[in-house]
Structure 1
Amino acid sequence: MSDDLPILIETDGNPAPGNHVVGWFRSARGKRLRYAIFKSDVSVARGTVVLLHGRNECIEKYYETIRHFTDRGLWVATFDWRGQGLSDRLLKNRLRGHVRRFRDLETDLSIFLETIVLPETRLPFYMVAHSMGALVALSMAPDLSNRIERAVLMAPFVELSNQMVPSWVIRLVTRIIRITGFGWISSGRDRFPHPFKGNALTTDIDRYARNQALYTAHPELRLGPPTALWINEMLGAMKRVGRFEHLDQIKVPTLIIGAGNDPLVAQQAIETISNRFRAGRAIIIDGARHELLQEADRYRLAALAAIDAFIPSEQVPGLAADAVSRSG
């Protein structure tokens, strides 16, 4: 493994925020993961947001969101999950979105919190997690009460939407593929670039084009379709985090933000989980697609308003969340 210096990549229209530190840390099975800390120019930091990405995302995709938090006086600590971004990939074919065990992702997050966030950033710690990152955060939440003040889960990957076959069938098939030793098989063909029309992620053509341009200019950052093993591991985690016994152990105050027009995550599943979740509540941004922080301003700003009211904790989250929910 090379010891090259870690970098942040910049493209036209997407410069890296200033006042940052970028580095590597080692996680489970010796994997090298890229992280970055973005410091606010405010003299007294109001805390640190631990920002967790979804599948096929990287630090560079969140520069705009990072600036929002640092402008508020918050630091941001974030990293590329194993198998994506500039962190170590898990297969010889770098484009296959793969994970061997879901708990490896939990270990990545735990080591990041203990070895990077705790010694190098500023208390209190908040978590803002999207999609797959939100699933990891939700799975780990019972163990986060002494480390995280509040958590925001955005379009959490808790149930597949619009599937032609039930999730239990997909899980069974991918389990069989896994047992027979072919878990590395891709679930589909890699088609890139993707047209804006009909995309599941955002209604904002400019932000969509910015992200596509990033992956076109730097293909080392992107992923293709997930593998059978990745799907199997995610479905197992989805089933686990939706159980009463899991949700009842979570003590961290949590805001779940769903996208009302999300073709990837079932809105009903988010509402069901929030109804079982004593430490959490949900709001839905009507009309928004899956990537709330990459959405058009009418949706993105509503999501950010909910986050800003929820963290830091000086304000009353319930009143602000109700206002955003009504504005949908």
Structure 2
Amino acid sequence: MEPAPFRSDIADGPADGQAWWRTTSDGVRIRIGLYNREAPKGTVFLFPGRTEYIEKYGRAANHLAAQGYATLAIDWRGQGLADRLLPDTMTGHVHHFSDYQLDVTEMVALAAEMDLPKPWHLLAHSMGGCIGLRALYLGLPVNSAVFSGPMWGVRISEILRPVAWSLSWGSRYVGMGHLYAPSTYGAPYVLNEPFETNKLTHDRDMYQYMIDQTLACPELGLGGPSLRWLHEALKETRDLARLPSPDLPCLNMTGTEEDIVCVPRIRGRMARWPGSRMVWVDGAKHEVLMEDEATQTDLFGQIGAFYDEHARPMRTANLEARAASAAPAR
């Protein structure tokens, strides 16, 4: 395996953190990182959100290590230190949302090659929640799944939703899919949005943690999404919403002040996920796992207990049939 850069100085995570390069089947170089390799209880596949990167979850990895778990995290294509997909490297872009599943394939392959501790579990945030839900349908080998503020719908006002669909769809056919989606631009959110008005966290220390990381390593930063990304996200979340819920234990944690992803889609999915648990985190914003330390300790304690509860072999009933029916169209 080819070692990749890893900024332990800004991650503030377990001391053994490291990263590797992997090349996907379509030739994109991504980065995968690991914390707490010798964990006694198993491994958490951590699927970050849009704009995020491995080091941002260093403190989360500390909490998971305290619960007895290793953390395997990823820089999705187009962000972090993975290959950027446009000449304007600040644009969050993807050609097809199904391409992210090629990144997942490499993540699973690396975990298998390294014989990481089992059982494996999923922890997916925001856009990672969209990618993670699709991965579950396609047979991601995990015993259980935890989602935080999952992007199961893109938050757009009902008045503007038809405009977003038509604009993002049309951009593909007139060579403008690379342009930024309306009201977004090519600069990292945390470097431009004051703490007082940010939509991520109430905790000033955690917000400063994100700012300091981006200042220390500017190449980790990312701006707004492209029109192509927006179209692909709208299409993927719509298609996922039409599918039955996976046959897998699920815990969802979403803040009562969520203002980035579509809350009605979260409510709808969880209402029809048998045996699932919904935790509304009172007063939390989008980054529920990056609120104050007491909230983090409580939520990661619940996550660890949930993983412990589902340490037995994963349920695989009807998995193959669902994977066949849930394969995303390009």
Q: TM tier, shorter chain? A: 0.7 to 0.9
Q: In the alignment, is residue 24 of structure 1 matched against residue 21 of structure 2?
A: yes
- Is the Cα–Cα contact under 8 Å of residues 67 and 301 in structure 2 kept in the other structure? no
Of all paired residues, the percent bearing the same amino acid is 28
Distance of 2:207 and 2:265 partners within structure 1: 26
Q: Which amino acid aligns with 2:87?
A: K
Equivalent pairs counted in the alignment come to 305
Residue 171 of structure 2 is aligned to residue 171 of structure 1: no
Partner of residue 322, structure 2: none
Q: Is the 8 A contact 1:41 1:70 kept in 2?
A: no
Closer/same/farther in 2, CA of residues 139 and 169 from structure 1, 3 Å limit: farther
2:56: which partner in 1?
A: 61
Runs of 4 or more consecutive aligned structure 1 residues displaced over 6 Å after TM superposition: none
Q: Which residue of 1 aligns with 2:269?
A: 273
Q: Deviations over 1:242-267 (max 9, x none)?
A: 11xx224x112111111110111232
Contact 2:143–2:310 under 8 Å retained in 1:
no
Query: What's the Cα RMSD here?
Result: 2.1
Which residue matches 2:34?
A: 37
Query: In structure 2, do the counterparts of structure 1 residues 107 and 132 end up closer, same or farther at CA, with 3 Å as the change threshold?
Result: same
* SS of 1:236 mapped into structure 2: helix
Quote the Cα distance in structure 2 between the aligned partners of 1:95 and 1:314: 39
TM superposition score normalised by structure 2 = 0.86
Confirm whether residue 229 of structure 1 aligns to residue 225 of structure 2.
no
Matched, 1:251 2:250: no
Structure 2 counterpart SS, 1:261: coil
**1:303 Cα deviation (Å)?**
2.4
Q: Within 5 Å, which residues of 2 pair with 1:310-325?
A: 310-313=306-309
Confirm or deny: 8 A CA contact 1:39 1:75 kept in the other structure. Answer: yes
Alignment of 1:92-131 (within 5 A): 92-113=87-108, 115-120=109-114, 121-131=116-126
Distance 1:269 1:37, change over 3 A: same
Equivalent position SS for 2:254: strand
| 2:195 paired residue number | 196
Q: Residue by residue, what CA displacement relative to the aligned partner does 1:200-219 show, whole Å, maximum 9, x if unpaired? A: 00001111011111111211
| Partners of 1:71 and 1:298 in 2: CA distance | 14
SS of the residue corresponding to residue 32 of structure 2 reads strand
Q: Deviations over 1:76-133 (max 9, x none)?
A: 11110001111111111110110111000012112311x2112211111001010000
Question: Is the CA contact (8 Å cut-off) linking 2:13 and 2:60 kept in structure 1?
Answer: no
Gap runs ≥5 in structure 1: 316-328
Name the residue aligned to 1:301: 297
1:276 partner letter: R
Residue aligned with 2:209, SS: helix
Q: Is the 8 A contact 1:260 1:267 kept in 2?
A: no
For the residue of structure 1 that corresponds to 2:186, the secondary structure is coil
**TM-score, normalisation: structure 1:** 0.87
Gaps of at least 5 residues in structure 2 are 312-330
Partner Cα distance (1:219, 1:240) in 2: 35
Counterparts of 2:249 and 2:196 in 1: how far apart (Å)?
37
Q: Which moved more, 1:158-167 or 1:225-234?
A: 158-167
Flag the 1:201–1:31 CA change in 2: closer, same or farther, 3 A.
same
Give the Cα separation in 2 of the matches to 1:63 and 1:189.
27
